Chain A
Amino acid sequence: MYSKGRVSLDGKDVRNIWSGKVHLECKGTQIPVLIDQVVKESIRIENVFWLDEHRINVVVYIRDFFRFIKWCRHHEIRAKIIKKQGVPFLWKEIKKRKMFGIGFVLFFILLLCMTSMIWRVEVEGTNARAIHDIRMQLQKQGVYFGQLKMRLPAPSLVQQELLAVFPELSWVGFRVEGTRIIVTVVEKKRAEIHKSEYPSYGPVHLISRKNALIIDVRAEKGNPLVDVNDMVKAGQILISGVYGDPTGESGPVVGARGAVLGEVWYESSVVVPMIQKRQVFTGARTSSRSIHIGNMIFHNPFRGSASFSHYKVFHRFHYLHVGNWKLPLGWVEEEYAESRYISRRLASSEATRLGTELCRKSVLQSISANGRIEEEKILQRIIKNDKVYLKVHFDAIENIAMPQPILRGEKPRGEND
């Protein structure tokens, strides 16, 4: 028995889209006999209807076509092909227009090739010179125009290496947008540029950066205007780059070079809470596995929830790979680690020690690299509301010299001080 499921309502056999069909026009007198005959021969025909008294429209599958024609001849019926339909004919047509077909395929291949290449590398977030350096470095790592996307190094690797090569960068972002690579860099912001650390060659004076008491003057070049135990103010000329006339109005300009050590006073204040709260792990942990697609994690709804009141979740993502392609789905291991907060009460002496430590660190940051702290003294200590308020005084010895270009004809900055 013929199974009904193979024919949809309008009689189209869904499974046969790949086999071609031929629309025929048959002309003759014995048409019903022909139809009966071919059906008995298990030739499938479709869409049979009368065009007029003697002509009939029939659709035959290619594989039955020649058998059908044989029966037509047998019953003296003339068959004329009206239309060819289906993939095999389309394929033939494509073969006939070979160049077009090749072009079509080539187009897609080319498109695929083009889109799997890097067309542009953009570096943003820094100046032109640094961009050039970063580009060169990227090229060494295999990130350049024309590189295949497949062969790009992992973003994390690029970031790591860039950070290692350029210590002045604090953060590197690396992302691929289509055929474009965008590298975003963030430069470290320096709290204060220590100009004294720059080699001071050329026509410069050395002036004071800070109010200080002079401890030592080490002039290599130039005319020192200050002496040990002098008090200087910020901006005051320490070593003049002009010989002879100390006002700098005349005389040969030789430039100044050297270091001037001064004692500088710093004052730093800090607040230290005496009750310190922190999160610690108890060691109890459970883990579960879930499926994730993109950034969405699909939890098993029947799993028991973590029984901890305070916990931290660690995700470990695993991705499925197809060849070199990383699919945006996979499974994720989630680890629930139980934690609790412990609060510790510091003794006031302990808090004071911690506070002074903090102050010292902040002062050390603001003095130049070869400076040192000579003396420290707690000026004020107030314990209020479980907090220790500290004010600490520091005596630091550091190089206070800073180069300043000599401007003839107009007064340089700081000359008035």
Chain B
Amino acid sequence: MRKWISDLLYLPQDVTSGIPRIEMIGSHQVQVENYLGIEQFSSTEIKLKIKEGCMTIAGDDLKIKAIYPQFVAITGSIREVRYV
């Protein structure tokens, strides 16, 4: 239904359907909007709860630069971004 409306109105899907919008700047920063929570946090792996389940960000020296209810910015040398 939501997808149908967003297609109809040419709206980007992240605006309407609450699925995460992930923005990666080089390999040193990832910004995730519309995440639901943090499951796990270590300097090598961060697991975020999202609508469709879980996503993992793996790398070294990971830091949460800023974290707000619907936005998280992660820096460090990022190796992978994976959906689980």
Cα distance, A82 to B67, chains bound together (Å) = 20
B41 touches A39 (CB 8 A): no
Q: Which residues of B contact A45 (CB under 8 A)?
A: 64, 66-67
Q: A1-B33, A2-B33, A9-B29 are in contact. Are A36 and B65 (CB under 8 A)?
A: no
CB < 8 Å neighbour of B42 from A9, A44, A50: A50
Q: A32-B38, A35-B41 are in contact. Are A7 and B71 (CB under 8 A)?
A: yes
Cα distance, A133 to B35, chains bound together (Å) = 85
- CB-CB contacts of A1-29 with B at 8 A, as 1s and 0s? 11010010111110000000000000000
Among B63-82, those with CB < 8 Å from A are 63-71, 73, 75
B63 touches A2 (CB 8 A): no
Cα distance, A218 to B71, chains bound together (Å) = 113
Cα distance, A46 to B29, chains bound together (Å) = 14
Q: A2-B33, A32-B39, A35-B41 are in contact. Are A48 and B67 (CB under 8 A)?
A: yes
Q: Which residues of A contact B31 (CB under 8 A)?
A: 4
Among B21-71, those with CB < 8 Å from A are 25, 29, 31, 33-34, 37-43, 61-71
| B47, closest chain A residue (CB) | A32
User: What's the minimum C-beta distance from B46 to chain A, rounded to whole angstroms?
Assistant: 9
A36 touches B29 (CB 8 A): no
Q: Which residues of A contact B68 (CB under 8 A)?
A: 2, 39, 42, 44
User: What's the minimum C-beta distance from A72 to chain B, rounded to whole angstroms?
Assistant: 16
| A44, closest chain B residue (CB) | B68
B37 touches A36 (CB 8 A): yes
A1 touches B64 (CB 8 A): no
A39 touches B73 (CB 8 A): no
A32 touches B40 (CB 8 A): yes
Q: A2-B71, A31-B41, A50-B42 are in contact. Are A7 and B66 (CB under 8 A)?
A: yes
A48 touches B41 (CB 8 A): yes
- The total of interchain contacts (Cβ-Cβ below 8 angstroms) comes to 71
B41 touches A46 (CB 8 A): no
Q: Which residues of B contact A36 (CB under 8 A)?
A: 37-39
Name the interface size band of chain A: 20 to 34
B73 touches A7 (CB 8 A): yes
Among A235-273, those with CB < 8 Å from B are none
Among A39-83, those with CB < 8 Å from B are 39-40, 42, 44-50
User: What's the minimum C-beta distance from B21 to chain A, rounded to whole angstroms?
Assistant: 9
Cα distance, A148 to B7, chains bound together (Å) = 72
Q: A2-B69, A7-B71 are in contact. Are A48 and B64 (CB under 8 A)?
A: yes
| A1, closest chain B residue (CB) | B70
A interface, CB within 8 angstroms of B: 1-2, 4, 7, 9-13, 31-32, 35-36, 39-40, 42, 44-50
B interface, CB within 8 angstroms of A: 15, 25, 29, 31, 33-34, 37-43, 61-71, 73, 75
Ordered by A's residue number, 23 sampled pairs between the chains whose C-beta atoms are within 8 Å are A2-B68, A4-B31, A7-B71, A9-B29, A10-B65, A10-B75, A11-B75, A32-B38, A32-B39, A32-B40, A32-B41, A35-B67, A36-B39, A40-B69, A42-B69, A45-B66, A47-B66, A48-B63, A48-B64, A49-B62, A49-B63, A49-B64, A50-B42
For the complex of A and B, 10 pairs with smallest distance between CB atoms: A11-B65, A11-B66, A48-B64, A49-B63, A2-B70, A2-B71, A32-B41, A50-B43, A11-B73, A36-B38
